[in-house]
Amino acid sequence: MKLDILAIAAHPDDIELSCSGTLASHRDKGYSVGILDLTKGEMGTRGTPEIRLQESEVSAKILGLSARENLGFKDIYFKDDLDHQIAIAKVIRKYQPEIVLANAVEDRHPDHGKGGSLASHACFISGLRKFETELDGVSQEPWRPKYIYHYIQNQYLEPDLVVDVSDYWEIKKNSILAFKSQFHNPDSNEPESFISSPEFLDFIEARSREIGHKINVKFGEGFTVERVAGVKNLFDLI
């Protein structure tokens, strides 16, 4: 199965919080979209790996994903090294995405910047012809995505581009709330965490409004780029 867009995340729910509106909007435009979670988020304050995998499946249905995989890297302890790069490169070669969305280049959680760097390096080596990989005993062809965009997470970064997700805010919100173990739930007996207060969800909405305001729309999702994006037609820009 070939994907048009593959979003790579250090943790389940990174995508939902940061760029799920972008995935849903492109799905409705006819593009195939998928998510690769690197860890099961087992070091998180709330929930369990099993619960978070179940929540990931619920969110995948809400977003209409064509594929969602989890590589099971060790939460907190994974590294941007060759072994981890190879594991991601195999998935990139499997799905051959044109665009990869990756973690923020820097953020409050150290796994985010590390995950963004790891995804970027994996995209590069995936395109090397002399870099050999196999999947299920079959040699894979080299593949390098045309574009890598880093979504903005907790820490504010000035976006290089903004996607209008105004029509997809409810889908984005529902995909976030699919992770019931992680976010505000007055009936939960789990310990409080940085993201479990109702104020955190207010922050997510405020951030989307702030970024959307930059392009004069209600809700937006921002991205930074690794190289300058170009167009042939100025009218392709809003």
Q: Give the neighbor-by-neighbor strand order of the sheet with 161-164.
A: 67-73, 33-39, 5-9, 99-102, 147-151, 220-225, 161-164
Secondary structure letter of residue 183 according to DSSP? S
> What pLDDT score does 1 carry?
87
Residues of the chain with pLDDT > 70: what percent?
100
Tokens encoding 148 = 């890598």
Distances 177 to 13, 51, 63 between C-alpha atoms, Å: 10, 13, 12
Tokens encoding 57 = 């499946």
Long-range contacts of 118-121 (CB under 8 A, 24+ apart): 118/38, 118/78, 118/79, 118/80, 118/84, 118/85, 118/88, 119/8, 119/88, 119/148, 120/148, 120/226, 121/80, 121/85
The conformational region for residue 214 under phi > 0 = left, psi -120 to 50 = alpha, else beta, is: alpha
Q: How many CA atoms lie within 13 A of 120 on its CB side?
A: 17
- Find residue 147's DSSP bridge partners: 99
Please give the biggest Cα pair distance in the chain: 55
The amino acid at residue 182 is: Q
3-state secondary structure at position 175? helix
> What pLDDT score does 236 carry?
86
Element (H, E) at 39: strand 33-39
| Alpha-helical runs (H) found in 71-162 | 82-95, 110-126
Tokens encoding 115 = 């995950």
> What pLDDT score does 164 carry?
98
Distances 157 to 23, 82, 152, 161, 225 between C-alpha atoms, Å: 20, 28, 6, 11, 11
Residue numbers in the chain where pLDDT is lower than 50: none
> What pLDDT score does 143 carry?
98
Crossing angle between the packed helical segments 169-177 and 20-28, to the nearest 10 degrees = 130
Closest CA to 158 of 202, 231, 207, 230: 207
Q: Where are the domains of the chain?
A: 5-236
pTM equals 0.96
CATH class of 5-236: alpha beta
